[in-house]
Amino acid sequence: MSEDVWADLLNSDWHDHLGSGRREDRLENPAWREHFLESHGLDASGIPAGRLVPALHGLRGLMRRMADAYAARQTPAPADWEALNAHLDRAPLARRLTPPLRGSKPRLSYVPRAGRLEALLGDVAYAFGAALAEGEPSRIKICGNKDCLWVFYDRSRNSSRKWCEATCGNLMKVRRFRTRQRA
């Protein structure tokens, strides 16, 4: 599973960064959802879309509230912490030791004890929790482009990034330039 799985889930609520006002919930798109799950190594086989999509919407809303709080330099609500922990509680892990194969070393791994949906949500919740606990929550930011609003983890050296990508940064610079030219 990729460490940025949580950011990709949050940004599945897509806004047109160019300012057209268009918005798309990519979780509703089966092709996007399949790509998301596959690219992050998440197993959703056997989970009907009617259960998966609402569950992902709920987790996305929870993580968005928490990300918005951190981006505003506030602490997320206690109820949000409890809800995130509930996702982790519903996805317990067991340790499993795999015997060595032809001279290799035995392999220790964790396997989910929960159903597929709970394990999937638990994996995403864990990645988000790891970003908060092992990273710096103050580095979770919302793109400065009011039309974009993507969530990103600022990995810059001095934590000064304002834009999700250079595209938004360049767009905002062009907009400011044109505003100055008109004035």
pLDDT along the chain (183 residues), means of 10: 88 88 93 96 94 98 97 95 96 90 87 90 95 92 88 90 82 82 85
Domains along the sequence of the chain with CATH: 5-182 (1.10.3300.10)
pLDDT at 30: 97
Task: Please indicate, yes or no, whether the overall pTM of this predicted structure exceeds 0.95.
Answer: no
> Residue 111: which of 93, 97, 125 has the closest Cα?
93
Residue 1 has a pLDDT of: 64
CB-side exposure of 170: number of CA atoms within 13 Å? 3
Are the C-beta atoms of residues 164 and 143 closer than 8 Å to each other?
A: yes
Contact 129, 86 (CB under 8 A): no
For residue 183, the model assigns a pLDDT of: 81
Radius of gyration for the alpha carbons in the chain, expressed in angstroms and rounded? 19
